[in-house]
Amino acid sequence: MSSTPPRALTIAGTDSGGGAGMHADCRTFFSCGVHATTAVTAVTVQNSLGVTGFTEIPPEVVAAQIRAVVTDIGVGAAKTGMLASAGIISAIAGACDEVGIGRGREIPFVVDPVSASMHGDQLLHDDALDGLRGELFPRASLVTPNLDEVRLLTGIEVTSRAGMLDAAKAMYELGPQWVLIKGGHLASDPDCMDLLYDGADVVELPGPRFDTRHTHGGGDTLASAITSALAKGADMPEAVAFGKRFVVRAVEAAYPLGGGVGPVSNFWRLSADPI
Ligand SMILES: Nc1ncnc2c1ncn2[C@@H]1O[C@H](COP(=O)(O)OP(=O)(O)OP(=O)(O)O)[C@@H](O)[C@H]1O
Ligand SMILES: Cc1ncc(CO)c(N)n1
């Protein structure tokens, strides 16, 4: 019998195409040697061409999944992805307080403020933005917005690396302990620089920009790799540096799928040996 591995929790939506969302999270946890536990928020109808619909899980069922996992199995860190509605966000905030998930509590909490798929299909109702800002960000150890989410949440349009620092400061004012601004959408930048900020220090996380359109699930993969490292006891700068190294390799190994946009590879660490 082996000893129990580190565990992490993803609170997120499913992607029937298997590229992003909870599927990307679970594969990333697995690749990092972390047992994946899940609280499903929504079931999306999705493939490489986009999202054509989703069904939400009742908020009390989302909260019950969190309680069931944390009180029995225990987790070293938790993350959120697609949350869909204000009601689900409130239920998550309440459950997190009950079981000790959040900044200053036992279980670090990574909040990825997913608002839309990379095709632009909405994954969060407009009236849920206040819930994210008011109920989740103040509980977050880390928030990981992309530049579209920065605009939605703060009104700031980032067009340069200097603008990323303004965005980090504005996001920090919304209450999280740490902010990671992702630079993947800054097309004018020949590299992919992310920025980590804790209200005082700025850490630049440089990375190459690969010439590929197959980046579906990149944000989920980054946040899950960070969560895996936190579940193993890393501090935030270490965890984020690991997450960036992991996602760079994942984008490099991205693969085409279907007729649209393929996913980053969450299993680049595994060999491609025949059966
Ligand atoms: N073409 C690329 N080459 C290398 N790294 C990239 C590329 N695009 C994005 N990244 C990196 O991948 C991570 C995710 O960034 P991005 O800004 O794309 O997030 P996102 O929009 O939330 O992702 P998603 O595609 O899941 O919605 C960041 O570390 C970013 O720097
Ligand atoms: C379920 C789900 N979560 C997150 C994303 C964004 O990557 C997506 N496309 N689908």
pLDDT tens per residue, range 73-94: 999 999 999 999 999 999 999 9
- Would you list the DSSP string of 249-267? HHHHT----TTSPPBPPTT
How far, in Å, from the CA of 135 to the mean position of ligand 2?
Answer: 21
Whether 275 is in a domain gets the answer no
Token look-up 């490489």 returns 48
Whether 14 is in a domain gets the answer yes
Instruction: Say what the ipTM of the complex is.
Output: 0.98
pTM of the model as a whole: 0.98
Whether 185 is in a domain gets the answer yes
Domain CATH number, residue 11 = 3.40.1190.20
The domain of 172 spans 7-268
Q: For ligand 2, is residue 112 a contact (CB within 6 Å)?
A: no
pLDDT digits (tens, 9 = 90+) for 29-83: 999 999 999 999 999 999 999 999 999 999 999 999 999 999 999 999 999 999 9
Domain count, the chain: 1
Whether 1 is in a domain gets the answer no
How far, in Å, from the CA of 60 to the mean position of ligand 1?
Answer: 32
- Residue 116 CA to its chain's centroid (Å): 12
Q: For ligand 2, is residue 219 a contact (CB within 6 Å)?
A: yes
Whether 273 is in a domain gets the answer no
How far, in Å, from the CA of 263 to the mean position of ligand 1?
Answer: 11
* Residue 72 CA: distances (Å) to CA of 30, 68, 69, 192, 201: 20, 6, 6, 40, 37
Whether 88 is in a domain gets the answer yes
